[in-house]
Amino acid sequence: MQFDDLKEAWAAHGNKLERSLAIDTRLLREMLLRKVRFAMAPYVLWRGLEVALGIAALVGVMSVLTDHIREPLYVVVGGALAVFTAGITALSTYLLVKSIKFDFDGPVTAMQRELEHIRIVEYRALKWAVLGGVVAWLPAALILFEAVTGVDALARIDLAWLIANLTFGLAVLALGQAMSRKYVERPDLGPRTRRLVEALSGHALRVSADHLAELATFEHE
């Protein structure tokens, strides 16, 4: 075999090897992205369920509020509860839309940034649901009970007890919000705080993040 023939054969072998590596890389990327899609599917379903429940709760609150629109207690308490329910439902809707429109064809770094954004919004939604729930649990229980049964539950509650519950809830909300802004909602998250956010973000987002990290490592290598 002449030297030129050997060089051509070596170049052809190199081209085949490059094509083989490119195919293997594409197949691995597709496999990992399928895992991300599979992991995200339950997340989309849960957010859809949250939106449906939020809309149902909002309809119930508004129906009671409309029936008692001339009563100050219902206007203040029911109106605040309607705003809170609408806000939580809006956050769930935003997460649902972002997860449905997640770009699985973009660069890995872009997908990781998008997933991190969803994770932070998910944390904020959970934070407001928990802290707001401490404030709103009693009015929500009374008004939704009235929406289902027609009994004027809020009008029959002891006003002093209702005010005491709301005051305690507002104090917890203010303290929780201050601690969240100081330790969690900041750009330079520490390792412990990051682990907390990851734990609160749910299994689907954690698994998706792990698969994207594996893909990013492979592409970097």
| Cα–Cα distance, 34 to 22 (Å, whole number) | 18
Residue 221: pLDDT over 60: no
Q: What is the pLDDT of residue 26?
A: 65
Calpha distance 174→165 (Å, rounded): 14
74 has a pLDDT exceeding 50: yes
**82 is a domain residue:** no
Any domain includes 187:
yes
What is the pLDDT at residue 94? Answer: 95
Per-residue pLDDT reduced to its tens digit, 154-210? 888 888 888 898 899 889 989 988 888 777 776 666 666 666 666 666 677 888 888
DSSP state of 104: T
Residue 69 lies in a domain: no
Residue 87 domain flag: no
Structural domain contains residue 174: yes
> Under a CB-based contact definition with an 8 Å cutoff, are residues 138 and 162 in contact?
yes
**Rounded average pLDDT over 97-120:** 86
Q: How far is CA 161 from CA 5, 126, 130, in A?
A: 94, 27, 21
Does residue 88 lie in a domain region? no
* Percent above pLDDT 90 for the chain: 22
Domain that holds residue 153: 3-43+101-220
The closest alpha carbon to 45, from 206, 198, 200, 204, belongs to 204
In a domain, 48, yes or no: no
Q: pLDDT at residue 89 above 80?
A: yes
CA distance 205 to 10: 46
Is the pLDDT assigned to residue 62 strictly greater than 60? yes
Pure H helices in 68-158 = 72-100, 108-149, 153-156
Q: How many CB atoms lie within 10 A of CB 69?
A: 11
pLDDT of residue 13: 47
SS3 of 145, please? helix
Name the nearest CA neighbour of 218 among 108, 134, 129.
108
Tokens of 93: 């809707």
- The continuous run of DSSP H or E covering 36 comes out as helix 3-67
**Residue 81 pLDDT class (50, 70, 90 cuts):** very high
What does the pLDDT read at residue 205? 81
CA distances from 134 to 99, 101, 140, 166, 202 (A): 28, 33, 10, 8, 21
Q: In the chain, pLDDT over 70 holds for what percent of residues?
A: 77
Note whether residue 208 is domain-resident: yes
* 88, pLDDT greater than 60: yes
Distance CA 74, CA 18 (A): 71
Distance from chain centroid for Cα 50:
11
Number of structural domains, the chain?
Answer: 1
Count of Cβ atoms closer than 10 Å to residue 24 Cβ: 10
pLDDT score, position 59: 94
Q: Which two tokens stand for residue 144?
A: 């939704």
The predicted pLDDT at position 206 comes to 80
